[in-house]
Amino acid sequence: MMETFLKVLPQSIQAAFLVLAFLLYTESQNRRRWSIALLCGVFSAFLTGFFMSFLPLPGEFISSHKGWTFWRYLWEISLLYAGMSMALLKGPRRPGPRFSVMLFFIAGWGIFFFDARDAGFLVHDIGLMNGRTLAAVTGGVAGILAGFLPLLLIFVLKRKESFRSIFTLHNLLVFGGAWLVAFGGVGSLEEGNLMAWLQQGMGAFLSGLISYIQEVLILSPHPFLRVPFTGVAGFLSGERMAMTLVVIFMFAPVLTVLTILFAKPDPQVHQIMVRAERRLQIAFFRKDLVAKSIPLLLSFFILVVMLHASNISVNPLYDPPPMPVRAEGDPPSISLQLTDRFGDFTDGRLRKYVYFRGDREVVFLAILKPDGSVGVALDQCEVCRPAEWNRNAQGYAQRGSHLVCKYCMTPIALDTINNPGGCNPIPVPFSMEEDRIVIELQDLISTFDAAEKMEKKGAHL
Amino acid sequence: MRRCFEIFSSWWLSALLAGGFASVFMVMDDFRAFMDYLLSKPLGVLLYLVLILNLCLISIRIGVRNLRKVLPERESPEGMTAYCNISSPPSQDAILRLGERLGFRSSPPSGDTVVLTRGRFSFLPGMFLRIGLVLALGGLMVSFHYREAGERTLHEGDTFSFRGMNGVVGRIRPDLPAEFLQIGGKGAFRVERVALELRLDDRGMEADNGLPAYAEGGYFRVSGFGFSHELIIKKEGGLRKRMVDAAVLPPGKTAVIPFTEEDMLITLSMEPLKKIKKGLLTGNLYRFDDIRYRMVLQSGRKKDIKQVHIVTPGTPVNISPSSLSAERGDMEIILGPLSYFVRLSMVYDPGIPLIVSGLLMFLTGLALMPARFFWYLRRLLWVKTGSGLMIGYESEFYRKWAIQKFHNIRIDLFSAPERSSSESCDGKAD
């Protein structure tokens, strides 16, 4: 019972805070019907979402997590863009009172439905595993009720003018969308992130579109024949372009509403004869402007954090453990197969090796560069070396098409591997023999010793 | 009718369609399936056509609205960003002079109304963007339904036919470097140009690997290239000849030539002239005017390597029978002189001109778009009323600052630093 209580509690708390924000808005507008519609929506979301997992549902798409993740993302985007659309709508096109009530019901339902479904799924699962479904459900319901306790804050906050004036419909919807992007329901089951999903989708769309157009224009890429506009096509279908478009897409609602807010002119006060009253009016207007921008700036901050998280999830740091190697032959040399049981160098992934020289470990790396040649270097740099207690931060990891110095996080273009200097890894002489990289042991040792000597001189930072 | 036009020329419809298309794509997760759905399934085609119609109507609506704004018509300044009533107006000439000084252009006065505008063509970037998109979308649809495409491997002297045209291949002229130093694995080997002389229905033309050549309604482009040799096999007094296309480029790549009759296969790869050291790296040096191949003979059920030879074109290679199998007698293989083969893409596609012009317009619009930060429509409306003059100012963007700008203009007009009591002004920005 306690397990389900604790599992469900965070889901309902995060929904409760959003419901609280919506209630603050409806109370500030003195629209009791909107508040009731919102709470009815939340309650119906609880009924439908929480108990959904206990019902047999037809169809893989309706009951699969992939399907639910899709609908959840769509809902988050819709909420973000609803705020922008409302801000762009003018005058008579604004929704009427009945439509508004319906919209608040839908908003309330959407705020909690995915969390409730998530909670219901977990409770159902835990109940089945423990064979105590009733206790699990009781714990889950108690968790939801406890999670919604922050809603009681409304009685305190609605009396405070500074809180009442924070939300407009536009910034509320944008804030709601951003909040759900950060804390939304089903994502906690799949550790999903809307931005990562969008970036992958946008990348697939752009690369598909560009290669389709190239094919239609008879300009498909070729391994060695020059094809016009291949560089442009590569740029347009690259990850950076996808990321740029996703950033524009995600930040457009926040920035649009913020721009509209700040584009409001100061109030016309020339008809007021008392100067102090003029200043008071302008001061009140500006204070109000700042208050209303808080949810938008908060949304902006949330989206920036999510963008960073998405970047990391799409492009995580790849830091493989070093594989031990031995020197053989006369003169002794280390031979690395381009294709071995760990895969093929053409996968473009970083490989690390360690040669044990007495009690010292000589760690070096090898990677295939974009021009098709191989780069081999020590897993340390000339410039920075972490202190003894921070030894794990020594060396390099791979992120996308760059190596990254784990100490100073400087990205290093793969083309520049084998070039000495700066934060680049210290190059190790090697030669290619058919499908092998051959490193003379003497070269490896002398390079390593030179790096160690530099360390003793204190040349490192 | 008007309502219908409003719906179909609305940005909301564009946003809805774009959102719908994005959702369909996300569900399908395959671009080709997505395009097939849009261009061949009834609902997809309908939505696609609605999008094209929507973009056309938006362009018409915006174009007409901007043109109308330039012309003086019955319009009250009260609907503008900022306006002012003035009881003692300056002369019309003074207003026009000030307008010209500020970069405004005046339309011919109509009755009591004068309109001064700046940035009247500021709608063009967006127009280019939308028309470009419409042309490209239309072109893609035409291409999908009417495209005929073929690809042939051709050698010098070969004949081919495409859509009733008969062609003869003339010379193949590759722009190969004299030598190539390959460092590491597959190096940055590039062939800049492969020109192919063609005669199409007795009309001479040249195609290459650049932009497609257009002739007789078709597009021709070299989409592949490689080395070709005549392979002569002498065995037990007999002679067999066969043309072999060896895909050995980029250097290091291996071409496989099966010999089903002999139950063996030959692999060919370019043999470097020498290995040289360049800085820290060691690489292979290949010469294209002195080509050598590493020829590997494989036979048996597992295609085991039996013999390895370094061969140059024209030099016979004796295959010792013992290494292959006991039944085989003496065999001699000769690689003939080097020639080339090309892959020629032949396409009939009436959609290509539309797509190309659409993409060019789209890119032009996209390039002009940043100019919209300072290129936007500003209007100064001057209407004589019974009691005096009403002037209004409208700005497409930056309306908050437009109000200040308007008052600056007003002060310039009347050379009065303070508003007189006979003026009543207002402004709005949203």
Domain boundaries, chain A: 2-180, 196-314, 323-457
C-alpha B280/C-alpha A447 separation (Å) is: 13
Beta-bridge partner residues of B285: B181, B274
pLDDT tens-digit profile of B124-133? 999 999 999 9
C-alpha B167/C-alpha B165 separation (Å) is: 6
| Per-residue confidence (pLDDT) for residue B92, from 0 to 100 | 74
Q: Both ends of chain A: CA-CA distance in Å?
A: 55
| Per-residue confidence (pLDDT) for residue A309, from 0 to 100 | 81
C-alpha B26/C-alpha A201 separation (Å) is: 6
Rounded to a whole number of angstroms, the distance from the CA of A220 to the nearest CA of chain B is 8
B217 within domain boundaries? yes
Residues 79-118 of A with CB under 8 A from B: 81, 85, 90
Chain B within 8 Å of A220 (Cβ-Cβ)?
Answer: yes
| Per-residue confidence (pLDDT) for residue B114, from 0 to 100 | 81
Chain B within 8 Å of A159 (Cβ-Cβ)?
Answer: no
The beta-strand segments (E) located in A317-358 are 323-325, 333-337, 339-340, 343-344, 351-357
Residues B238 and B197 grouped into a single domain = no
CA A2 from centroid of its chain's CA atoms: 31
| Per-residue confidence (pLDDT) for residue B85, from 0 to 100 | 79
Share of chain A above pLDDT 70, in %: 93
Q: Which of A216, A260, A432 sits opposite B282 (nearest CB)?
A: A432
Which residues does B62 contact at the CB level (< 8 Å), separation at least 6? B123, B126, B127
Mind giving me the DSSP string for B301-312? TTTEEEEEEEE-
Residues B216 and B346 grouped into a single domain = yes
Which residues does B55 contact at the CB level (< 8 Å), separation at least 6? B14, B130, B131, B133, B134, B137
Q: Which residues of B touch A260 (CB under 8 A)?
A: 430
Q: Which fold has domain A2-180?
A: Growth Hormone; Chain: A; (1.20.1250)
| pLDDT higher than 80, residue A61 | no
Dihedral sign of CA atoms B297, B300, B302, B306 in order: negative
Chain position carrying tokens 């790549």: B253
Rounded to a whole number of angstroms, the distance from the CA of B222 to the nearest CA of chain A is 9
The two tokens of residue B414 are 């009347």
Rounded to a whole number of angstroms, the distance from the CA of B187 to the nearest CA of chain A is 5
Least trusted range by pLDDT, from A83-92, A183-192, B241-250, B344-353:
A183-192
| Per-residue confidence (pLDDT) for residue A187, from 0 to 100 | 52
Residues B245 and B174 grouped into a single domain = no
pTM of the model: 0.78
C-alpha B2/C-alpha B251 separation (Å) is: 66
B37 within domain boundaries? no
Band of residue A194 on the pLDDT scale cut at 50, 70, 90: confident
Q: Which of B192, B221, B281 sits opposite A218 (nearest CB)?
A: B221
Band of residue B418 on the pLDDT scale cut at 50, 70, 90: very low
Q: Which of A204, A220, A265 sits opposite B31 (nearest CB)?
A: A204
Dihedral sign of CA atoms A164, A169, A172, A176 in order: positive
| Per-residue confidence (pLDDT) for residue B421, from 0 to 100 | 40
B96 within domain boundaries? yes
B280 within domain boundaries? yes
Residues B204 and B352 grouped into a single domain = yes
The two tokens of residue A414 are 């793969």
| Per-residue confidence (pLDDT) for residue A381, from 0 to 100 | 81
| Per-residue confidence (pLDDT) for residue A191, from 0 to 100 | 57
The total domain count for chain B is 3
Band of residue B247 on the pLDDT scale cut at 50, 70, 90: confident
B159 within domain boundaries? yes
Exposed, middle or buried, A390 (CB in 10 Å: 0-12/13-18/19+)? exposed
Residues B242 and B334 grouped into a single domain = yes
Q: What is the mean pLDDT of residues B351-379?
A: 92
| pLDDT higher than 80, residue A316 | no
Residues B298 and B234 grouped into a single domain = yes
A375 against A55, higher pLDDT:
A375
pLDDT tens-digit profile of B90-110? 777 777 787 888 888 887 777
The two tokens of residue B280 are 């820290």
| Per-residue confidence (pLDDT) for residue B55, from 0 to 100 | 94
| Per-residue confidence (pLDDT) for residue B69, from 0 to 100 | 78
Asked whether the beta carbons of B45 and B39 are under 8 A apart, the reply is yes
The two tokens of residue B198 are 């063609």
C-alpha A187/C-alpha A69 separation (Å) is: 7
- Domain A2-180 matches domain A323-457 at the CATH topology level: no
Length of chain A: 461
The phi and psi torsions of B163 (rounded to 5 degrees) equal 50, 45
Q: What is the mean pLDDT of residues B324-351?
A: 82
Residues B263 and B251 grouped into a single domain = yes
Characterize the bridge pairing of strands B218-235 and B213-215: antiparallel
pLDDT tens-digit profile of A266-301? 787 777 888 898 889 889 888 889 998 999 999 999
Mean pLDDT, all residues of chain B:
83
| pLDDT higher than 50, residue B419 | no
B267 within domain boundaries? yes
Residues B109 and B81 grouped into a single domain = yes
A169-183 and A239-262 helices cross at what angle (nearest 10)? 150
| pLDDT higher than 50, residue B326 | no
The two tokens of residue A388 are 């003894």
The two tokens of residue B126 are 């967006």
Least trusted range by pLDDT, from A246-250, B82-86, B120-124:
B82-86
B314 within domain boundaries? yes
The helix, strand and coil proportions of chain A, stated in percent and rounded to the nearest 5, come to 60, 15, 25
CB atoms within 10 A of CB A417: 23
Dihedral sign of CA atoms B381, B386, B389, B394 in order: negative
Closest CA to A219 of B355, B33, B198: B355
Characterize the bridge pairing of strands A323-325 and A351-357: parallel
| pLDDT higher than 60, residue B328 | no
B105 within domain boundaries? yes
Band of residue B324 on the pLDDT scale cut at 50, 70, 90: low
Residues 273-302 of B with CB under 8 A from A: 277, 280-283
Q: Which of B32, B223, B403 sits opposite A220 (nearest CB)?
A: B223
pLDDT tens-digit profile of A86-124? 888 765 556 677 888 898 999 999 988 888 888 888 888
Chain position carrying tokens 């026009």: B96
* Domain termination site, one of B340, B367, B389: B340
Asked whether the beta carbons of B213 and B347 are under 8 A apart, the reply is no
The whole domain housing B190 covers: 146-223+342-359
Residues B196 and B238 grouped into a single domain = no
Q: Which of A268, A427, A429 sits opposite B426 (nearest CB)?
A: A268
Chain A within 8 Å of B25 (Cβ-Cβ)?
Answer: yes
| Per-residue confidence (pLDDT) for residue A90, from 0 to 100 | 64
Exposed, middle or buried, B183 (CB in 10 Å: 0-12/13-18/19+)? buried
**Which class is A323-457 in CATH?**
mainly beta
Rg (CA), chain A: 29
Q: Which residues of B touch A203 (CB under 8 A)?
A: none
Least trusted range by pLDDT, from A130-139, A245-254, A380-389:
A380-389
